[in-house]
Amino acid sequence: APPATAGPSRVTSDAVIVASGGARGVTAAGLLALAKAHRPRLVLLGRTRTEPEPAGLEGADDEPSLVRLLAEREGEHEEGRSPAALAARAREILAAREVRATVAALEAAGSPVRYVPVDVRDEAALRAALGDVRASWGPVTGLVHGAGVLADKHLADKTDAQFDLVLSTKVDGLRALLAATAEDPLDLLCLFSSVAAAFGNAGQADYAMANGVLDHVASAESVRRPGCLVRSVAWGPWQGGMVTPALAGHFGRSGVALLPVDQGAAAFSAELGDPGGAARVVIAAGDAAPAADTAPRAARVLVRGSRLPQLADHEIAGVPVLPLAMALNWLTGAAPSGWRADEPLVLRDVRVYRKCVLSGLGGAGHRLDVRVAAATTGAPSRWEAELRDETGVPHVGAVLERADAVPDPGEWTTPEGLDGPASADVYDGHVLFHGPLFRSVRSLRGVSRHGAEATVVGAGELGWPGDAWPLDAAALDAALQVALLWAHGALGEAALPMAVAECGVYRRGPARGPARCVVRARKTHETGARCDVAVLDPDGAVRFALLGVELVRRPS
């Protein structure tokens, strides 16, 4: 579900909130957002001891460097411990530092904080600790149960002790918290559950079961406590907390997006400001409404010369033809609503089925339809898009996906052996037939069998009307124009782009200032040539990268 919109909150500076697992990880991040917004009094429960660490370790800020220093100290005292024991001690030191940093951050945000080192499953210890809290701050008004541990293994490989620890931390911890606050006027109960309880996850039978219990307890408590805001939040994986780098890599390979810590923390704070919400909610990264987002989408474009005067300057044999770059601009704009407007994306398997003639630009215009539907194969975030005319005939097709990574600009070096152009004006009316509003190649550095390089500009420099471009179609067309110049040198004939294996869009919106365009040759063949081409912004970052551009010899 999409996160709630923060409204009036019952969490105030007078609230006394007890949070298990609240001194570290994602629970701490959520509490920090709450502290910044409302400054409640916070009691953090955790198993980490915070005794001062030995002197001389301040310069080590990760486990390997701490282990080295600890080993040196042990060697000096001739009390050498095993590597496993040294690693465990290093983790204890790092955990204690994290607790101290959390307490300091919460206090800096305006919340009074008490940290209590206690096993959340120990009801007697909890009662004693909370008795001291009540004596100082008054009754407890809220509970946040974020404590949890993992022991991910297939059931056949998991010991009973591992299973019990995972289950007990969640379930017995909640039982002890509710028992120790049975006489308190709770108006807030928030449980950190997991999507594993809703959808399962290999190796997490115990974790899924434990969080499933939390979900059901939340449903029961919401009925039993009508005046209390009750939530069991089934979180998707976060970029942090118990999601280690190895686990993050597994999620990435599985197509599961990670929830950025700042967004998760904001969602937590907002959820506690929405008293009308459901007791059980899923908050995860990715598209907000799976059922709706898998439904086909449609958008209509009315192409008129008065609104897009540049199209009159894209004529072949005297007839205006829709540029491939403009079609890709509209397909990019049809990306699912759950995708951020600034995130990189890739259009794969771009195909020009047939040219789109625009013979009526001066009249009523041309109606074009963009159709997008979730792909039936491949990754969950894969969308098939087509641009069709008003009769339903497809002209351009592509598959939309989120980009895995932004390319390294260092991959786009100047090709070898460049020969300068015979003329400074590359628009000869044949190889490049473009009129003034499409003349986006400002200077050609040179062409060789290895590639080409040029300086190009975008829509703003050419005076195209409007500023709301999902991608800068003028700069993208410039990349294809430079590819045509290379193809002419390689083939000795004029060519047209007919397909692109992959068009990466790494920066949206209009280009700002002159950009560098590099063509990288791949091969020539009987019917045409193939290359890669990129546009790099003035700061050196890659704006577009078109891989596998297929250029076919142009019929006379």
Give the per-residue pLDDT at 390. 85
Q: How far apart are CA 536 and CA 407, in angstroms?
A: 11
Q: How far apart are CA 52 and CA 12, in angstroms?
A: 33
Q: How far apart are CA 150 and CA 283, in angstroms?
A: 20
CATH of domain 292-553: 3.10.129.110
Give the per-residue pLDDT at 3. 47
Q: How far apart are CA 215 and CA 207, in angstroms?
A: 12
Q: Which phi and psi (to 5°) does residue 243 adopt?
A: -85, 95
Q: How far apart are CA 69 and CA 54, in angstroms?
A: 11
Give the per-residue pLDDT at 75. 61
Which pLDDT tens digit goes with each residue over 62-121?
Answer: 888 888 888 887 664 545 678 888 888 888 998 899 999 999 999 999 999 999 999 999
Given a cut of 70, the residues of the chain with pLDDT beneath it are: 1-9, 74-80, 241-242, 244, 246, 254, 274-277, 287-297, 337-338, 340-341, 376-380, 466-468, 556
Give the per-residue pLDDT at 255. 73
Q: Is 144 helix (H, G, I), strand (E, B) or coil?
A: strand
Helical packing angle, 261-271 and 25-38, nearest 10°: 60
Q: Is 543 helix (H, G, I), strand (E, B) or coil?
A: strand
Give the per-residue pLDDT at 527. 86
Contact in structure between 376 and 358 (CB atoms under 8 Å) = no
Give the per-residue pLDDT at 395. 94
CATH 3.40.50.720-classified regions of the chain: 16-50+103-283
Give the per-residue pLDDT at 295. 57
Give the per-residue pLDDT at 338. 63
How far is residue 210 from each of residues 25, 148, 179, 197, 234, measured CA to CA in Å? 19, 9, 18, 8, 12
Which pLDDT tens digit goes with each residue over 366-391?
Answer: 889 998 888 766 555 788 899 998 88
> What is the architecture of the domain spanning 16-50+103-283?
3-Layer(aba) Sandwich (3.40)
CATH 3.10.129.110-classified regions of the chain: 292-553
Cβ atoms within 10 Å of 375's Cβ, excluding its own? 16
Cβ atoms within 10 Å of 113's Cβ, excluding its own? 19
